[in-house]
């Protein structure tokens, strides 16, 4: 709302601009990663939304999980206080993200004076840790570790926003003017704006021989698993956290892209047939294939490079099948980001990026088809707001960084353009897939992994030099240098030890012929130990460790070819544990120098 008069009426809410700042520019694009941009780039590329958002009257700013030059934003006094509050003049309050303060070096979820000192005004402490956090902060103010003036400032900021919103004068939320009026949710005026946004945001990368716009009185085959899937076209953070597991019926009043096409076509006397796998009885005039990324949120979206459907080209096969049948093919691509889709673009006659159109799938059909009189009702007008990559490894890529993209920032064909796109380069340069070793443990467990042990129903995470769970224990030991080894002792109870991350990690780089899970091991006692990779529910590839060792209780270098783990059931696209050990009885072993490498010994067969 406009707060120039100092007040917000009861028909408006306080908005939060987030997440401050730079999580979209981290190394490797990792969620909650490290942004190493210089300050000018951080401001020019990553902070402009805050300039606009604060200008529009936002009253709170959420701190981000990411780091800037290695320092977590929740503890970054320069950015939260000197830049945001002092330079940018923000007089609302800064709120944390889900236990984000606990990620600051030296902090935990229940003890973190650093965040308040840096400029956080409200901690987000969603779990029972809020009570000790509260008591610790009170004690830290009383001891003088946190100056009373900083606490007063935080409280003043929260009260200032409450006064502006009229919280001290307004009735309770249940008794305000809009509280009983549920018709505002999914209101036709709001849907119309959303549909308009879909129409205007479509970007056409290819339109050979003017295939688009289509005449609506055609026989249209609508294929692809995104065609009649409102959850997929809406993405993550939709009903469920990851945006997965939803049915179309969970979106009342929404339209899928197929439903929009069917409506446009049937109104003009044409026909639209839904066939996810692209099969048909009667040959259609045209096929519209709607495909793209499955929904994800946060770290679940992290990928090692920007190749679409890397190692699993089912959508490409569908496009090629229809094209081989002599059917004109329109690709409609659902995605939250530019991806390398050169093979898919080559397998279509026209290619439109729909991004994530959300609830108003009809907006896609509005632009793809003419009206019943053959006139363009809605123009194709979207332009790329991101630079589009020319190779899977062209990431990051930004305007002006000297790289040659596949499609420039601002590119987007209109129906007036006479452009036939030539075949694009589909070869992936072999040398650019050369990956450094992925280190799991060297002197310490490397992020994002943490060492987790489970005995029966008891689980523990290693946060110090010793971890005891049930009748098993892990402690650090010295081999070449201090604490470069993990000594594991197992009792009679079956146990599992894993280097685990809460989000899946894309390790497809390590599916090359000589890739291996490599580590040094000293097996003092124990047999029947299984080692392998865990990749989610009912997904793992485990092998007998003894099959890859020589019979000796001295230190030895072990390499388990990843192809053996893949044969055993591992999926390296979504790895939750790059090494999991399963031990059935008494055993004692030491491991060190644990990593995935592309430079293992050549192997012809798995035991």
HEC string for 357-401: CCCECHHHHHHHECCCCCCCCCCCCCCCCCCECCCCCCCCCCCCC
- Give the CA distances from residue 568 to residues 41, 517, 533, 596, 607, in Å, rounded to whole numbers and listed in that order: 46, 14, 9, 17, 11
- Bridge partner residues of 352 (DSSP): 204, 332
Cβ-contact 360, 443 below 8 angstroms? no
User: Is 11 a residue whose pLDDT tops 90?
Assistant: no
CA–CA dist 561, 512 (Å, integer) = 10
CA–CA dist 38, 44 (Å, integer) = 10
* Model pLDDT, residue 459: 95
User: Is 4 a residue whose pLDDT tops 60?
Assistant: no
* Model pLDDT, residue 1: 40
* Model pLDDT, residue 2: 46
More confident residue, 66 or 11: 66
* Model pLDDT, residue 464: 86
Residue corresponding to tokens 């009426």: 9
CA–CA dist 248, 359 (Å, integer) = 10
Mean pLDDT of 146-167: 95
- Bridge partner residues of 476 (DSSP): 486
User: Is 319 a residue whose pLDDT tops 80?
Assistant: yes
User: Is 212 a residue whose pLDDT tops 60?
Assistant: yes
CA–CA dist 222, 228 (Å, integer) = 9
User: Is 280 a residue whose pLDDT tops 50?
Assistant: yes
* Model pLDDT, residue 177: 82
User: Is 9 a residue whose pLDDT tops 80?
Assistant: no
Lookup: tokens for 495:
């146990």
CA–CA dist 224, 361 (Å, integer) = 15
Mean pLDDT of 48-55: 94
* Model pLDDT, residue 429: 75
Extended strands (E) in 28-175: 34-35, 60-63, 67-68, 71-72, 93-95
User: Is 53 a residue whose pLDDT tops 50?
Assistant: yes
CA–CA dist 398, 415 (Å, integer) = 27
CA–CA dist 359, 195 (Å, integer) = 8
The contacts found for 131-138 with CB under 8 angstroms, 24 or more apart, are: 133/109, 136/110, 136/111, 136/112, 137/113
CATH number for 16-174: choose from 3.40.220.10, 3.20.20.300, 3.40.50.300, 3.10.310.10: 3.20.20.300
In terms of residues, how long is the chain?
607
Mean pLDDT of 510-523: 95
Lookup: tokens for 228:
């009649």
- At 440-465, the pLDDT tens digits run 999 999 989 999 999 999 999 998 89
- Bridge partner residues of 3 (DSSP): none
Taking alpha carbons only, the member of 363, 138, 351 closest to residue 260 is: 363
Whether residue 426 is preceded by a cis peptide bond, meaning omega within 30 degrees of 0, is no
* Model pLDDT, residue 90: 96
H/E segment holding residue 334: strand 329-334
- At 429-438, the pLDDT tens digits run 766 667 889 9
Number of neighbours of residue 371 by Cβ within 10 angstroms: 16
- Give the CA distances from residue 277 to residues 221, 274, 355, 470, in Å, rounded to whole numbers and listed in that order: 11, 9, 22, 50
Q: Where are the domains of the chain?
A: 16-174, 193-428, 434-597
Three-class DSSP category at 344: helix
From 173-177, 492-496, 568-572, the region with the lowest mean pLDDT: 173-177
More confident residue, 29 or 66: 66
On whether the 193-428 domain is CATH 3.40.50.1700, my answer is yes
Decide: residue 93, CB within 10 A, 0-12 exposed, 13-18 middle, 19+ buried.
buried
Mean pLDDT of 390-403: 89
What backbone torsions phi and psi does residue 54 show, to the nearest 5 degrees? -70, -35
CATH class of 434-597: mainly beta
Above pLDDT 90, what percent of the chain?
Answer: 86
Lookup: tokens for 245:
């597991």
- Bridge partner residues of 262 (DSSP): none
Cβ-contact 549, 542 below 8 angstroms? no
Number of neighbours of residue 151 by Cβ within 10 angstroms: 16
Mean pLDDT of 247-276: 97
Mean pLDDT of 559-574: 96
Taking alpha carbons only, the member of 539, 541, 537 closest to residue 566 is: 541
Cβ-contact 465, 448 below 8 angstroms? no
CA–CA dist 59, 54 (Å, integer) = 7
Above pLDDT 70, what percent of the chain?
Answer: 98
Residue corresponding to tokens 């059931």: 569
Average pLDDT over the chain reads 94
CA–CA dist 379, 349 (Å, integer) = 19
Active site residues: 97, 298
Mean pLDDT of 103-111: 94
Cβ-contact 388, 429 below 8 angstroms? no
- At 321-335, the pLDDT tens digits run 999 999 999 999 999
Position 259 confidence tier, pLDDT thresholds 50, 70, 90:
very high
Mean pLDDT of 152-162: 97
CA–CA dist 116, 114 (Å, integer) = 6
């Amino acid at each position: 709302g406009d707060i120039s008069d100092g007040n917000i009426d009861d028909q408006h809410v306080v908005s939060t601009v987030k997440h401050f700042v730079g999580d979209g520019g981290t190394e490797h694009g990792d969620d909650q990663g490290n942004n190493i941009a210089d300050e000018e780039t951080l401001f020019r590329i990553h902070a402009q939304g805050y300039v606009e958002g604060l200008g529009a009257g936002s009253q709170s700013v959420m701190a981000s999980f990411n780091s800037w030059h290695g320092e977590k934003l929740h503890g970054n006094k320069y950015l939260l206080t000197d830049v945001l509050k002092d330079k940018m003049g923000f007089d609302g309050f800064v709120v944390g993200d889900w236990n984000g303060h606990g990620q600051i070096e030296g902090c935990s979820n229940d003890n973190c004076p650093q965040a308040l000192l840096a400029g956080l005004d409200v901690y987000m402490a969603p779990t029972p840790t809020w009570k000790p956090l509260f008591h610790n902060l009170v004690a830290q103010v009383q001891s003088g570790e946190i100056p009373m003036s900083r606490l007063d400032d935080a409280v003043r900021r929260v009260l200032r926003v409450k006064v502006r919103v009229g919280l001290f004068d307004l009735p309770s939320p249940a008794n305000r003017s809009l509280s009983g009026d549920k018709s505002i949710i999914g209101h036709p005026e709001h849907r119309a704006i959303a549909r308009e946004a879909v129409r205007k945001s479509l970007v056409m990368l290819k339109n050979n021989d003017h295939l688009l716009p289509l005449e609506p009185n055609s026989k249209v085959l609508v294929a692809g698993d995104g065609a009649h899937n409102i959850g997929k076209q809406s993405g993550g953070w939709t009903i469920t956290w990851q945006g997965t597991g939803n049915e179309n019926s969970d979106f009342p009043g929404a339209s899928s892209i197929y439903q929009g096409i069917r409506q446009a076509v049937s109104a003009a006397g044409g026909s639209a047939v839904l066939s996810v796998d692209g099969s048909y009885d009667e040959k259609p005039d045209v096929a519209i294939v709607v495909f793209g990324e499955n929904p994800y949120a946060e770290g679940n979206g992290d990928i090692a490079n920007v190749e679409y459907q890397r190692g699993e080209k089912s959508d490409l096969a569908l496009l090629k099948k229809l094209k081989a049948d002599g059917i004109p093919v329109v690709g409609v691509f659902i995605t939250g980001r530019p991806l390398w889709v050169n093979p898919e673009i080559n397998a279509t006659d026209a290619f439109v990026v729909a991004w994530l159109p959300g609830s108003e799938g009809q907006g896609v059909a509005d632009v793809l088809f003419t009206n019943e009189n053959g006139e363009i009702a809605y123009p194709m007008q979207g332009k790329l707001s991101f630079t589009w990559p020319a190779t899977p490894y062209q990431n990051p890529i930004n305007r002006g960084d000297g790289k040659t993209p596949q499609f420039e920032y601002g590119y987007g064909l209109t129906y007036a353009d006479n452009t036939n796109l030539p075949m694009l380069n589909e070869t992936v340069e072999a040398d650019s897939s050369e990956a450094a070793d992925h280190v799991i443990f060297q002197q310490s467990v490397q992020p994002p992994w943490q060492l987790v042990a489970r005995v029966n129903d008891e689980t523990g995470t290693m946060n110090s030099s010793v971890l005891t769970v049930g009748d098993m224990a892990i402690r650090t030991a010295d081999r070449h240098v201090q604490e470069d080894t993990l000594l594991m002792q197992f009792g009679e109870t079956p146990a599992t030890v894993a280097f685990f991350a809460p989000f899946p990690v894309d390790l497809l780089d390590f599916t090359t012929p000589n890739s291996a899970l490599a580590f040094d091991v000293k097996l003092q006692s124990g047999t029947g130990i299984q080692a392998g990779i865990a990749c989610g529910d009912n997904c793992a590839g485990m092998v007998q460790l003894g099959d890859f060792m020589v019979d000796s209780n001295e230190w030895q270098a072990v390499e388990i070819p990843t192809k053996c783990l893949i044969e055993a059931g591992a999926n390296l696209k979504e790895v939750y544990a790059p090494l999991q050990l399963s031990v059935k009885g008494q055993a004692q072993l030491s491991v060190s120098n644990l990593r995935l490498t592309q430079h293992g010994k050549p192997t012809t067969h798995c035991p």
